[in-house]
Amino acid sequence: MSDETRTMNMIQAINSAIDICMGRDDEIVVLGEDVGFFGGVFKATEGLQAKYGKTRVFDTPITECGIIGVAVGMATYGLRPVPEIQFADYIYPALDQLVSEAARLRYRSAGEYTAPITVRTPFGGGIFGGQTHSQSPEGIFTHVAGLKTVIPSNPYDAKGLLIAAIEDNDPVIFFEPKRIYNGPFDGHYDRPVQPWAKFAESAVPEGYYRVELGKARIVRPGDDVTILAYGTMVHVAQSVVADAGIDAEIIDLRTLVPLDLETIVASVKKTGRCVVVHEATKTSGFGAELSALVQEHCFHHLEAPVQRVTGWDTPYPHSLEWAYFPGPVRLGEALKRVMQD
């Protein structure tokens, strides 16, 4: 395959990853609502049915439980399904299949069977979708032993992580932050173009490559404070730090399970301060797990309490999306608090 690169947004990178995997492995199939002829509501699977046929890329009825149930059966018989759940908000009917079947299969069969399923789904705000098209339910899945949870923040990682997920022999939930799906903000949401928009497109290799699951990326080294982020929040953190005059170390977690605890601990022991930021609700969000881990492993190095910047503990609002979203102002205030303690 070619080593050449081209500028891609996240949707293009995801499409490229699936295309390459399907070309390398005839056992990979794509299924979901409107993923075939239409190419998905966000066009992430566009062109794949025409290239690989209707038996490998096919539409399903509107039944999330059925989509994942079929995928589990396919995986048990040796296929590698890549089902799409159209929005993460719709994934709840599939929880029983994901938790009771896919996540348990390796253990229940003493390793005789596995469930190499990669469930793709867009999550988070960004389209004024309100409470039924904007949720961030990653914390539900990180709680389930046997599931891996992956969240890219940029096109390069999206492609490499998705290839690694599809090739993994265990079930993976692959959350795609739709706020940065299509590259730079275009101002359609009644506010100025955000300064972190420039990070939403990047040079991506045309060919095959992997980004290892369970390895975080230090986006920006620093000595004053550690910021733990993933998805869209990585770009918000970059924007804030650029203007705040604080020497912050920004860590893009990339995967929540498995988690790169080694990189987190090394950073917090160096800086002595930590801020966690995510779009999901605060109560029982993954930030609580991160805060606990930092407390357990870095207690004697902390100079201030760990700060969490999150979505509010309410349903995601429609008209007040930007107020709900943990943006630059709220993250900047948290950085000031942690530096003053």
Active site residues: 133
Look up residue 312 and give its two tokens.
């509010």
CA distance 268 to 288: 16
Using the structure block, give the residue that is written with the tokens 């996540």.
Answer: 103
Give the separation between CA 214 and CA 172, rounded to whole angstroms: 12
Enter the tokens of residue 231. 């998805």
| Sequence-separated (6 or more) residues with CB below 8 Å from residue 281 | 136, 310, 311, 312, 313, 314
CA distances, 182 to each of 81, 136, 179, 277 (Å) = 25, 19, 8, 22
Continuous H helices in the chain: 10-24, 48-52, 64-76, 95-96, 105-108, 138-142, 155-167, 232-244, 261-271, 286-298, 321-324, 328-340
Residue 159, classed as helix, strand or coil, is helix
Closest Cα partner for 81 from 152, 21, 34, 123? Answer: 21
